[in-house]
Amino acid sequence: MNKMKCVVKSEPKEGAILTTREIPQIGPNEILVKVLATSICGTDYHIYSWDAWSQKRIKPPLIMGHEFAGEVIKVGEKVSKVKIGDIVSAETHIVCGKCELCATGKAHICKDTLILGVDTQGTFAEYVAIPEDNAWANDPSIPPEYLCIQEPLGNAVHTVLSGDIIGKTIAVVGCGPIGIMAVAVAKAVGAAKVIAIEVNEYRINLAKEVGADVVINPIKEDVIRRVLDETDGMGVDVVAEMSGNSTAIQQALKYIKLGGRMAMLGIPTEDVKLDVANGIVFKGIQIHGIVGRRMYETWHQVKGLLASGNLKLDKIVTHKLPLEDFEKGMELMKTGNCGKVVLFPNMK
């Protein structure tokens, strides 16, 4: 048998289809992985809904998905670091490995990056081929539904740990799946107070369950006043901006502490007007743009956090579905009434 089931963005319009494709062939430096679990990312939903970004970036037909864990079943002739039977996940940024950025520890911002499931065929399938250099060997004792979320967890870790966090106050703005992870990470690594800011009631409750000390709904409360009240009028040391919401970003610059740090992962869909003088320059704050995960520093941090058992992953993974029910998973992402949604190509 040389066919596999997979979820394909087949046409340049909303939706996707469950179909079959040839099992991928691998090159000398690649591995073939049997997908055990694959989770839905916000990027996958953007592709599914065919938004403005997707229309510019995606070239159907494309097998969707990039967050996964699976078993290596075949290796190329030049592969040396991975063996058949290993349980792996993938760093989804496929980089050139040759440019100045790659050579100086900044491969995560390589200008020639290709992204798994965006620029190459993805993981919403029974099998996926990836470069050996992108494979991350996992502890096989950890359930695949947790191993498959390491890629987005790495985004949260990179955001929270892009500066000092121990003993600091942090506001996590936007508690989608990665924001929820950021709350859990901040608590696990010793933040003094974690303030979660979110409008969706399901995710408000989820933020509480993973350890948020304070949860603020900006629809119901004055966010700036409440954050200042919670920090003795000083503001938070750190803002983890996960929402991409222009109003939320503008507010954050008013409640961040003098000399504070803003780590920005959320992607605005429109230009954001900022008071640069009063919100940034005169406050002496640092702003960090967060792209992916540091390769592979962040992965080692994620590995340690998984081993610690302090992340409440059972709360973060809220839905487990067979691959055939991917449309249900996309609907959950649309409503926001979920944490991480994990799909299983061969659910038992």
Q: Is the pTM of this model over 0.85?
A: yes
Q: Please tell me what DSSP assigns to residue 25.
A: P
- Whole-number Cα distances in Å, 169 to 23, 148, 160: 48, 29, 11
* Pure H helices in the chain: 42-49, 52-57, 100-103, 144-147, 150-160, 177-188, 201-209, 223-230, 246-255, 276, 297-308, 313-316, 326-335
Instruction: State the Cα–Cα distance between residues 327 and 124, nearest whole angstrom.
Output: 12
Residue type, position 299, single letter: W
- Whole-number Cα distances in Å, 314 to 156, 209, 317: 17, 10, 6
For residue range 47-77, what is the model confidence (pLDDT) as tens digits?
999 999 999 999 999 999 999 999 999 999 9
The three-state secondary structure class of 47 is: helix
The answer to whether residue 46 is catalytic is: yes
Q: What is the rounded average pLDDT for all residues in the chain? A: 97
CATH number assigned to the domain with residue range 155-289, chosen from the 4 options 3.40.50.300, 3.30.230.10, 3.40.50.720, 3.90.950.20: 3.40.50.720
* pLDDT band (50, 70, 90) for residue 173: very high
**Rg of the chain over CA atoms, in angstroms?**
20
Annotated active-site residue in 46, 66, 108, 158: 46
The answer to whether residue 108 is catalytic is: no
Q: How far is CA 152 from the centre of its chain?
A: 2
Structure tokens that stand for 274 in this block: 């900022």
CATH number, span 3-148+312-344: 3.90.180.10
For residue range 186-236, what is the model confidence (pLDDT) as tens digits?
999 999 999 999 999 999 999 999 999 999 999 999 999 999 999 999 999
Annotated active-site residue in 43, 92, 169, 318: 43
Does residue 348 register a pLDDT over 80? Answer: no
For residue range 295-334, what is the model confidence (pLDDT) as tens digits?
999 999 999 999 999 999 999 999 999 999 999 999 999 9
- The 3-state secondary structure of 30-91, one letter per residue: EEEEEEEEEECCHHHHHHHHCCHHHHHHCCCCEECCCEEEEEEEEECCCCCCCCCCCEEEEC
Domain ranges across the chain: 3-148+312-344, 155-289
* pLDDT band (50, 70, 90) for residue 248: very high
